């Protein structure tokens, strides 16, 4: 018997498209999917950045952790972001942006929640508001 | 300044809190410039400038419009203006801040709203200046002797 990935409803999760913001249900084990709203390919994986990473756009429906040795130079679209290293670029997070004491962010941040540890460095325009608030 | 604006806590016998020796009452509307040493709890409406090395608390339901330079700032109410802190800025869940923020430490609770430019860290403690750096002095050109 072949069991399709995603056939089990209990193992689905809700994500928001990083391109159009539309919500969709995907299998918990899925690694990428095409958005039914905008037909763009979505990455669903979590990332842990431990080195230098530069790109035109760093987007995932999962979470990103930038470790102490990590340096991301790119605009980021993500669900939750944890910064222990350096980020240079605008951040668009649908969840929490957490900056630890060693974290440094240079760029605009848009998120629903922000936690900043003592010693962290931020420089940019912030728009922190719950999703319901326009 | 309208109504019963500022009350000293010791005299009123209520709101005893060691940090906040001065309270701007919930029915008070204060317009102007305020300087103090220890701490002020704003429960009403404040429009103007605040400059202190002490602690400022903008309580839930209170409104502040203007520029603030303080040691520590706790925001529970609504602020429309720029905040500069040499210590810590706390935005609680009911806080709404629209303006620029310069501070060395920031704490944002779940539900707080913040829209504005933010500089946190050792650079953030320095008061932002709008003044442009002085232009380098222009050397006067010596008249060149022309040989005929």
pLDDT at res. B124: 65
Average pLDDT over residues B113-124: 87
* CB-CB under 8 Å, A121 with B105: no
User: Tens of pLDDT along B69-97?
Assistant: 999 999 999 999 999 999 999 999 999 99
Which residue of B107, B111, B116 is in closest CB contact with A126? B116
Domain membership flag for residue B136: no
Nearest CA among B69, B111, B122, B57 for reference residue A115: B111
pLDDT of B147: 53
Q: Which of A122, A124, A130, A131 to mutate to test the interface with B (most CBs of B within 10 A)?
A: A122
Domain boundaries, chain A: 9-43, 47-128
B12 backbone dihedrals φ, ψ, rounded to 5°? -80, -25
Rounded Cα distance, A107 and B98, in Å: 18
Q: From CA B89, how far away is CA B36, in angstroms rounded?
A: 18
Torsion, Cα A31 A35 A40 A42, to 10 degrees, reads -20
- Chain B residue numbers with beta carbons less than 8 Å from the beta carbon of A113 are 108, 110
CB contact (8 A) between residue B117 and residue A133: no
Does residue B36 belong to any structural domain of this protein?
yes
Q: Residue B18: which pLDDT band, with cuts at 50, 70 and 90?
A: low
- How far is B113 from B94, CA to CA, in rounded Å? 8
Task: Give the pLDDT confidence score for residue B6 in this predicted structure.
Answer: 52
Q: A with B: how many residue pairs have Cβ under 8 Å apart?
A: 58
pLDDT of residue A53: 93
Which residue in B105, B110, B115 is closest to A127 by CB distance?
A: B115
The predicted pLDDT at position A28 comes to: 86
Inform me whether the pLDDT recorded for B107 exceeds 90. no
Residue A49 scores a pLDDT above 50: yes
pLDDT of residue A88: 96
Residue of B nearest to A108 (CA): B117
Residue B144 lies in a domain: no
Count of beta carbons in the 10 Å neighbourhood of residue B112: 22
Confidence of residue B145 (pLDDT cuts 50, 70, 90): low
pTM above 0.80, yes or no: no
Q: Between A134 and A127, where is the model more confident? A: A127
Domain of B43, in residue numbers:
6-120
Coil, helix or strand at residue B60: coil
Q: How far is CA B75 from CA A26, A38, A41, A60, in A?
A: 40, 40, 41, 33
Which chain A residue has the Cα nearest residue B95? A129
- Choose between A6 and A125: higher pLDDT: A125
pLDDT band at A103 (very low <50, low <70, confident <90, very high): very high
Provide the shortest C-alpha distance from residue B19 to chain A (in Å): 22
Residue B62 lies in a domain: yes
Residue A23 has pLDDT above 80, yes or no: yes
* Cβ <8 Å between B118 and A130: no
Interface probe, candidates B83, B115, B118, chain A, greatest A C-beta count within 10 A: B118
What B54-59 contacts at long range (C-beta under 8 Å, 24+ apart), as own/partner pairs, is B55/B19, B55/B20, B57/B19, B57/B20, B58/B95
Is the ipTM above a cut-off of 0.85? no
Instruction: State the average pLDDT over residues B55-66.
Output: 94
CA distance B70 to B54: 6
pLDDT for A18 equals 87
CB atoms within 10 A of CB A67: 16
Q: Are A32 and A46 in contact (CB under 8 A)?
A: no
- What's the total number of domains in chain B? 1
The CA angle B130-B121-A47, to the nearest 5 degrees, is 120
Q: How far apart are CA B27 and CA B101, in angstroms?
A: 27
Contact B114 A113 (CB under 8 A): no
Whether residue B125 lies within 8 A of chain A, CB to CB, comes out as no
């Amino acid at each position: 018997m072949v069991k399709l990935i995603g056939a089990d409803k209990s193992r689905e999760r809700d994500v928001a498209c990083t391109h159009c913001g539309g919500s969709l249900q995907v299998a918990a084990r899925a690694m990428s999917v095409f958005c039914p709203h905008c037909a763009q390919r979505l990455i669903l994986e979590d990332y842990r950045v431990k080195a230098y990473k530069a790109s035109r756009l760093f987007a995932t429906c999962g979470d990103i952790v930038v470790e102490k040795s990590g340096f991301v130079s790119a605009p980021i679209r993500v669900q939750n972001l944890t910064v222990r290293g350096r980020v240079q670029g605008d951040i668009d997070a649908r969840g929490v942006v957490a900056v630890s004491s060693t974290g440094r962010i240079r760029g605009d941040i848009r998120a629903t929640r922000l936690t900043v540890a003592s010693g962290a460095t931020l420089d940019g325009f912030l728009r922190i508001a719950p999703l319901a608030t326009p | 300044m309208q109504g019963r604006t500022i009350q000293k806590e010791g005299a009123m016998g209520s709101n005893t809190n060691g940090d906040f020796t001065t309270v701007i009452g919930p029915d008070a509307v204060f317009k102007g410039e305020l300087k103090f040493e220890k701490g002020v709890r704003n429960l009403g409406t404040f429009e103007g400038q605040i400059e202190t090395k002490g602690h400022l608390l903008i309580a839930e339901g209170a409104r502040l419009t203007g520029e603030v330079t303080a040691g520590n700032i706790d925001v529970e109410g609504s602020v429309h203006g720029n905040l500069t802190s040499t210590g810590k800025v706390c935005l609680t869940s009911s806080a709404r801040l629209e303006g620029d923020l310069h501070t060395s430490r920031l704490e944002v609770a779940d539900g707080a709203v913040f829209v504005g430019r933010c500089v946190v860290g050792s650079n953030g403690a320095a008061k932002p200046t709008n003044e442009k750096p002085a232009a380098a002095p222009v050397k006067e050109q010596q008249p060149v002797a022309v040989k005929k």
